[in-house]
Amino acid sequence: MLAFDRVSKIYNLKGVRKVILDDLSFVFPENRNVAIMGKNGAGKSTMMRLLAGSEPPTSGHVYRSLRISWPLGFAGGFNGSMTGIENIRFVSRIYGQDTERVITYVKEFAELGPSLRLPIKTYSSGMKARLAFGLSMAINFQVYLIDEITAVGDETFRKKSRAVFQEKLKSSQIIMVSHSAATINEYCDCGLLLNEGGVTFYDDVKELIAAYKSL
Amino acid sequence: MRQMTTAELLTLQIRVILSLVLRETRATFGTSSFGYLWAVITPTASVAVLVILFSMVGRHAPFGASLALFFATGILTLQFFTETSGKLMTVFDANKALLTYPIIKDVDTILARTILISATYLVIMVIFYSGLIVAGMAQFPARPGQLVLVFLSTALMGLGYGAMNAVIVSLWDTWMQIEKVLTRPLFFISGIFYVPSQLPTRAQDYLQWNPILHLVEWFRIGFYPNYNSSILDRTYPVFVGAVLLLIGLAGERLFRRSRF
């Protein structure tokens, strides 16, 4: 189960109070792919971090009994002075994976070649994203949290990602943040719309996209 | 889906902490073994400076025959403490990126750093004291068991004080500067270059409140066969360390939400 129980998230930065979520209770439907849409700053990424557990809510509880990924889509967790291989090793270790298996997988998938032996700080943002995506695909999660990641890399890499992704979807569920109606339409079948602190659930993804467009 | 058992959670936490130790080792010392060598050289140099200064003015060791051994028992113990607590003070900020992976919690990063610094100081001390013994400047420790205990107590003290400071800094970062000023006198009040029991009673009455002084005295009892201390109370630094750790961990839990 994955559920929000009276969750509020409020940021206080330099005296500016920003309410992202206000007393939200919601049970994420199981075995369905959920989209999260909303304007910039509506709190989509915050919601992802709350779901993953990288950040605690200001009040209320997030219940999760599934194996949930970290929020994919940015390379925030990489250590810049460590090489690609070392970062892969670290993440495999904390998730209790067979390190060599994960390295082999990421090598094949991310196609970074000898760059994997260089420090991450020498990588371009595209290379980092490929590494991050490959790494997350190498570990089996029940729920993948995806934050605007499908647009990574060139056309061939995108095709490859899509194929791997479709394969994953057979056994896993995704919760996805995206501004692209096409992407949402392709992967999700229901979704949440975040707007001015209010959250609405749409059982049909078409209705969600229509509502998002009329914002 | 069932909940994880305590044993599973414990295995998970140990796995995470050990991975963090490996990562921090790599991040702290770099790729070359020179990084680690440097970590050993720095404390050695500070002992050497004191030895040279005291020899130049023609002073003898306050206790025993070896100036180097006497100062080392003081300086290395104090440094082990200050290194641990100092590195922990910034731990929340330094490891923020790691919290991308929800499986890692702040407490894991605190413990990982403590383990890494303790391991480093264990190596430093073994190398340094072995060197002194080989050079004939020290005898083999009289009570090795006591040395193990005082080493662990010093780590506890550094962990407790560092964890508490980390919480304070996360709420109020000016504390970092204030704490530096407050702990500077430790070099003078921890018995590094004198025998505390030989001081006037009035001075002893004040100094005995300093837990680091107890650790230094304890270390000397472990090393010298006939060192006498009228001040040493072994339970005192352990008690202070445990209380500070409790405050630190409780603070981490209480103010967790305000860090985000």
Kindly give the pairing relationship between strand A198-202 and strand A190-195.
antiparallel
Residues in chain B closer than 8 A to A93 (CB atoms): 15, 18-19, 22
Per-residue pLDDT of chain A (215 residues; tens, 9 = 90+): 888 999 888 888 777 888 888 888 899 988 889 999 988 888 888 888 899 888 889 889 999 888 888 888 666 678 888 889 999 999 999 998 999 999 999 998 888 889 899 988 898 888 888 888 888 889 889 899 888 765 566 777 778 888 888 888 888 998 999 888 888 888 888 999 988 758 889 898 888 888 888 87
Contact at CB, B103 and A95, closer than 8 angstroms: yes
The amino acid at A141:
F
CATH fold group of domain A1-69+144-151+173-215? Rossmann fold (3.40.50)
Torsion sign across C-alpha atoms A42, A46, A52, A53:
negative
Surface-to-core class of residue B204, CB atoms within 10 Å of its CB (0-12 exposed, 13-18 middle, 19+ buried):
middle
Q: Nearest Cβ partner of A93 from B19, B26, B27?
A: B19
Contact at CB, A76 and B15, closer than 8 angstroms: no
Q: How confident is the model at residue B1 (pLDDT cuts 50, 70, 90)?
A: very low
Contact at CB, A54 and B102, closer than 8 angstroms: yes
At B33 the pLDDT is 67
Contact at CB, A82 and B260, closer than 8 angstroms: no
Q: Closest-CA residue in chain B for A74?
A: B100
At B92 the pLDDT is 86
| Residue A130 backbone dihedrals phi, psi, to 5 degrees | -65, -40
Rounded mean pLDDT, B79-107: 87
Rounded mean pLDDT, B106-117: 93
Residue B2 pLDDT exceeds 60: no
Residue B121 pLDDT exceeds 90: yes
**Contact assessment for residue A127 and residue A112, using Cβ atoms and an 8 Å cutoff:** yes
Contact at CB, B102 and A70, closer than 8 angstroms: yes
Q: Closest-CA residue in chain B for A119?
A: B31
Neighbours of A37 (CB within 10 A): 27
| Residue B179 backbone dihedrals phi, psi, to 5 degrees | -60, -40
Contact at CB, B3 and A65, closer than 8 angstroms: yes
ipTM value for the complex: 0.80
Q: Coil, strand or helix: which one is A177?
A: strand
- List, for residues B43-70, the tens digit of each pLDDT value: 888 888 888 888 888 777 888 888 889 9
**Contact assessment for residue B114 and residue B166, using Cβ atoms and an 8 Å cutoff:** no
Cα→Cα distances B249→B161, B246, B254, Å: 11, 5, 9
**Contact assessment for residue B171 and residue B96, using Cβ atoms and an 8 Å cutoff:** no
Calculate the average pLDDT of chain B: 89
Q: Nearest Cβ partner of B101 from A58, A77, A96?
A: A77
Q: Nearest Cβ partner of A77 from B3, B12, B97?
A: B97
Q: Nearest Cβ partner of A65 from B1, B16, B100?
A: B1
Proportion of chain B in helix, strand, coil states, percent, rounded to 5: 75, 0, 25
B212, containing H or E segment: helix B211-223
Rounded mean pLDDT, B112-130: 92
Please state, in angstroms and rounded to a whole number, the distance separating the CA atoms of residues A71 and B143.
Answer: 53
**Contact assessment for residue B251 and residue B164, using Cβ atoms and an 8 Å cutoff:** yes
| Residue A175 backbone dihedrals phi, psi, to 5 degrees | -125, 120
Name the nearest CA neighbour of B15 among B87, B94, B103.
B103
Interhelix angle B6-29/B106-134, rounded to 10 degrees, is 60
Please state, in angstroms and rounded to a whole number, the distance separating the CA atoms of residues A122 and A100.
Answer: 23
**Contact assessment for residue B128 and residue B43, using Cβ atoms and an 8 Å cutoff:** yes
Torsion of CA A187, A189, A195, A199, to 10 degrees: -130
Residues in chain A closer than 8 A to B16 (CB atoms): 94
Residues in chain B closer than 8 A to A52 (CB atoms): 102
Q: Closest-CA residue in chain A for B106?
A: A54
Name the maximum alpha-carbon separation found in chain B.
74
Q: Coil, strand or helix: which one is A27?
A: strand
At A8 the pLDDT is 87
Q: Closest-CA residue in chain A for B102?
A: A54
At A20 the pLDDT is 85
Here the tokens at position B235 are: 């339970």
Please state, in angstroms and rounded to a whole number, the distance separating the CA atoms of residues A163 and A151.
Answer: 14
Q: Coil, strand or helix: which one is B221?
A: helix
Domain ranges of chain A: 1-69+144-151+173-215
Size of interface A-B (CB pairs under 8 A): 59
Q: Closest-CA residue in chain B for A13?
A: B260
Q: How confident is the model at residue B157 (pLDDT cuts 50, 70, 90)?
A: very high
Cα→Cα distances A90→B20, B24, B118, B232, Å: 8, 11, 21, 44
At A76 the pLDDT is 62
Residues in chain A closer than 8 A to B22 (CB atoms): 90, 93
**Contact assessment for residue B106 and residue B256, using Cβ atoms and an 8 Å cutoff:** yes
Q: CB-side exposure of B85: number of CA atoms within 13 Å?
A: 25
